[in-house]
Amino acid sequence: MSLFGTTLNSLEDLFINQIEDLYDAEKRITKALPKMIDAASSANLKQALQNHLTETEGHVTRLERVFSGLNGTPERETCQAMKGLLDEGEDMIKADGPPDVKDAALIAAAQRVEHYEMSGYGTARTFAQRLGYTDAAALLQNTLQEEMAADKKLTEIAESSVNVRAAR
Ligand SMILES: [Fe+2]
Q: What is the pLDDT of residues 51-106, one digit of tens each?
A: 999 999 999 999 999 999 998 888 999 999 999 999 999 999 999 999 999 999 99
Give the tens place of pLDDT for each residue, 115-139.
Answer: 999 999 999 999 999 999 999 999 9
CA 66 and chain centroid, separation: 17
Q: Which of 115, 21, 99 is nearest to 66 (CA)?
A: 21
168 CA from centroid of ligand 1 (Å): 33
User: What residues have their beta carbon closer than 5 A to ion ligand 1?
Assistant: 56, 59, 117
62 CA from centroid of ligand 1 (Å): 10
39 CA from centroid of ligand 1 (Å): 20
